[in-house]
Structure 1
């Protein structure tokens, strides 16, 4: 694993990137806003009937990841077309050709909630701005310095935001030790099954690059799951994935194994654990 940016980690904004963004993108922001709004409308037409609710809340609430990925896919398809592009997308193509970058980013926005967005050079572009408050406009474009997005520092930070934003209770994953090296937390929302956290690429890679020290810290310092939470998670886990032994010692031992064997640096090992996670009925 390299020392490059984590998946969905914001990139440092250099002076050169500020200048390129100011030259290529800033003059077409109103037109770009119009294009993105049309892509968002298309996304809503397709997604709302398929995903009418998230955690009991009506679309688009809680759907920032889904909407962002869909709009990015539409935008990428447009950019690959050979037909003439709108001026704003021609400018975006020139920006990319000049060394600019469009990144999908994820983090804590304004200290209050998790959010998916795009970093376009020195700009913050959110095409799912109304997924927390539906009264807000769906598209927001700001200078990156003004957007207020921060990286998730560790699982204490994750738990604090999950608690305030989702209303979740967050526990250490001592129930399924084999997944503790990449998913060391369990969240429980009122009326829902327990869920392992966090399966986003950013958090998984952050665990790996910490050599699983972040996991150890949360497993030892986070609250242990109540018996009913542990039972519900085990009941939702297919029999082949249920552990012979659970508990804090088993979870810490699992982290030691992947650290000491080097498995944690193996992408195939990581992918296999994610596939196991996806088979658990709670998801």
Structure 2
């Protein structure tokens, strides 16, 4: 089966052999090189993202840190002379692979990281606890990273990690096939969840059946949560009421499946633009 965006790749014998040859003997040097890369990432992001819901950078910034680090790597490796970056460059030239990954770490929280061959590489290890080292490198099999299995799995981690109730998205029915969850963490706006490439692709992969089952079985948000989201959402996206919104959300899944929208990236991108129009 084709990997979803940011899904961990199975570690093949070839990838393990390349990791063992090029990277494992140079873990300390690779850690030092990535620490220097992180310094460049921080210089770019910290002025633009000084805080996250009242918490100072880098708290809550694992996604942009991992993304910018991955974007900076090609140019960094091109001119590198330090042993860590040279080892990484040699690994890639020999056929090694690097990819952005997203999932659940150690059963506790959502995590953005990098998979480099058979290694789990976190360049934002201090984004939950700033006292931790910035860089963590582990064998992927020992990292505790796992892919989100389904919407219920995602909802359980969201509830515990963000300390929030999780509801069915009966407020914005047209987004429900892709974003069937609603959360309202303390001191944060209510929002449809999760607008990341992996979860959107996961909902599309089964033709929105899991999303439809969630929307049918879970409660609507209480009025105060719904109203807070309604106030931030363009009127044309809203359902007149939660009762009607439930019916419309279920119908949106059924209709999208019948119209093969799970294969339609233009439709998917239009829904993402609708999500981005919400004033979160």
| TM-score range relative to shorter protein | over 0.9
RMSD: 1.5
Using the alignment, how far apart are the partners of 1:273 and 1:201 within structure 2?
A: 13
SS of equivalent residue, structure 1 residue 228: helix
The residue that corresponds to 1:58 in the other structure is 56
Using the alignment, how far apart are the partners of 2:31 and 2:17 within structure 1?
A: 20
SS of equivalent residue, structure 2 residue 47: helix
1:134 aligns with 2:125: no
The residue that corresponds to 2:30 in the other structure is 32
Deviates more, 1:265-274 or 1:220-229: 220-229
The residue that corresponds to 1:250 in the other structure is 248
Of 98, 101, 106, 2:102 maps to 106
Using the alignment, how far apart are the partners of 2:160 and 2:261 within structure 1?
A: 35
1:78 aligns with 2:76: yes
Matching of residues 125-274 of structure 1 within 5 Å: 125-243=121-239, 246-274=244-272
**Length, aligned pairs only:** 278
SS of equivalent residue, structure 1 residue 250: helix
TM norm structure 1: 0.93
Of 88, 99, 110, 1:92 maps to 88
Using the alignment, how far apart are the partners of 1:13 and 1:236 within structure 2?
A: 43
SS of equivalent residue, structure 1 residue 24: helix
Contact 1:178 1:243 in 2 (8 A): no
Report Cα offsets for 1:202-222 as digits up to 9, x if no partner. Answer: 000000001111101211222
Runs ≥4 in structure 1, deviation > 4 angstroms?
none
The residue that corresponds to 2:2 in the other structure is 4
Unaligned runs of 5+ in 1: none
User: What is the deviation of 1:169?
Assistant: 1.6
Unaligned runs of 5+ in 2: none
The residue that corresponds to 1:43 in the other structure is 41
User: What is the deviation of 1:241?
Assistant: 2.5
TM norm structure 2: 0.94
The residue that corresponds to 2:119 in the other structure is 123
Of 60, 64, 67, 2:65 maps to 67
Structure 1 residues 281 and 200, CA, compared in 2 at 3 Å: closer, same or farther?
A: same
Report Cα offsets for 1:199-251 as digits up to 9, x if no partner. Answer: 00000000000111110121122232111111111111112333456422110
User: What is the deviation of 1:84?
Assistant: 5.3
Contact 2:66 2:123 in 1 (8 A): yes
